[in-house]
Amino acid sequence: MDGNKRAAWVSLRMFVAINGYGWGTIPSVDDAENAMQAIASGEWAEKDAADWPATLLEGPDDQMCE
């Protein structure tokens, strides 16, 4: 993963934490790298990019994101 994709991953993690969410299921390094690559290459549409973390996050009230 190059610098831009690493920066995107760190930014996503910070955004999640700042907004009171947490990872219900922590993605593996490989899963995170594959996701950032899919987003950067245009393989994933905007909806795909939004759906991926939503399946892994828990909201501030311990409910899964939808």
Buried-exposed string 24-51: b where 16+ CB fall within 10 A, e elsewhere: eeebeeeebeebbeebeeeebeeeebee
CB 1 within 8 A of CB 41: no
**Tens digit of each residue's pLDDT, the chain (66 residues):** 567 888 988 999 999 999 999 999 899 999 999 999 999 999 999 999 999 998 999 987 755 455
Domain locations along the chain: 26-59
The per-residue pLDDT for 1 is: 56
The per-residue pLDDT for 41 is: 93
The per-residue pLDDT for 60 is: 78
The per-residue pLDDT for 65 is: 52
